[in-house]
Amino acid sequence: MTKSNYHHGDLRNSLIDTAIQLMGEHGVTRLSLREVAKSAGVSSAAPYRHFRDKAALLEAVASVGFRRIEKENSGACEKFPDDPCEQLRAAGLAYLHFAAEEPEIIALMFGRGVSLENCGDELQQAAQGAFQSLARIIEKGQSRGVFKRLELHDMTLATFSMVHGLSMMLALGPLKPAQSDSARINALGNLATTMLLEGLLER
């Protein structure tokens, strides 16, 4: 990496990408700033330009995960602008595939290495953005008379919890062997969202 890269802000993103790659190879526990720097091809002091310690780097990685969820949820809204049910289904499937592809990031985001109750502004904002992007789908369904008009926060939390539970089983639990089976993930996701929608839909 040349000096010009530092001035263009590429170092920070390069370090985050390298950390994600190393996490995929041997998890969070063995990760260190020194190892990340070595793999990124920079000096051992270079990471401290952007991250005070390993915890700060892990928060940045977790923020990437939450921003991916927000992006997928927004993409689902764009793909099915007039159908909240399909928006919810597409968002859920995207989340499941994310968990299967990046189990270490999912685990990190929800307690293995960072705390959403005690973290920096970047991670807090990213987590809130992901939650709010799901809330917008629920709210749209409510405004169109498709979903029940219960308290929005509670509806969003319940919806997220169901899909998240399945994602954790894919990432870390008994469904982990299904990670590489895209058809199996889609089948599980469609079943889960169908059961969820049957509870959400207004009768």
Cα 2 to its chain centre, rounded Å, is 31
Q: What is the pLDDT of residues 16-54, one digit of tens each?
A: 999 999 998 888 888 999 999 999 999 999 999 999 999
The rounded distance, in Å, linking the Cα atoms of 20 and 57 is 10
Which residue ranges does the chain devote to CATH 1.10.357.10?
55-200
pLDDT at 107 over 70: yes
Tell me the CATH number for domain 1-51. 1.10.10.60
Mean pLDDT on 116-120:
87
Which residue ranges does the chain devote to CATH 1.10.10.60?
1-51
- pLDDT, mean over the chain: 90
pLDDT at 6 over 70: no
What confidence score (pLDDT) does residue 5 get? 44
What confidence score (pLDDT) does residue 19 get? 96
Q: Residue 65 — very low, low, confident or very high, per pLDDT cuts 50/70/90?
A: very high
Is there a contact between 107 and 98 (Cβ–Cβ < 8 Å)? no
pLDDT at 12 over 70: yes
Q: Going by C-beta distance under 8 Å and a sequence separation of 6 or more, which residues neighbour residue 197?
A: 85, 88, 89
Q: What is the pLDDT of residues 138-195, one digit of tens each?
A: 999 999 999 999 999 999 999 999 999 999 888 888 887 777 788 989 999 999 999 8
Q: Going by C-beta distance under 8 Å and a sequence separation of 6 or more, which residues neighbour residue 182?
A: 97
Cα torsion through 182, 184, 188, 194, rounded to 10:
80
Tell me the CATH number for domain 55-200. 1.10.357.10
| Assigned token pair, 147 | 């979903």
Other Cβ atoms within 10 Å of 170 Cβ, number: 27
Mean pLDDT on 124-138:
97
Q: Residue 116 — very low, low, confident or very high, per pLDDT cuts 50/70/90?
A: confident
Mean pLDDT on 109-133:
91
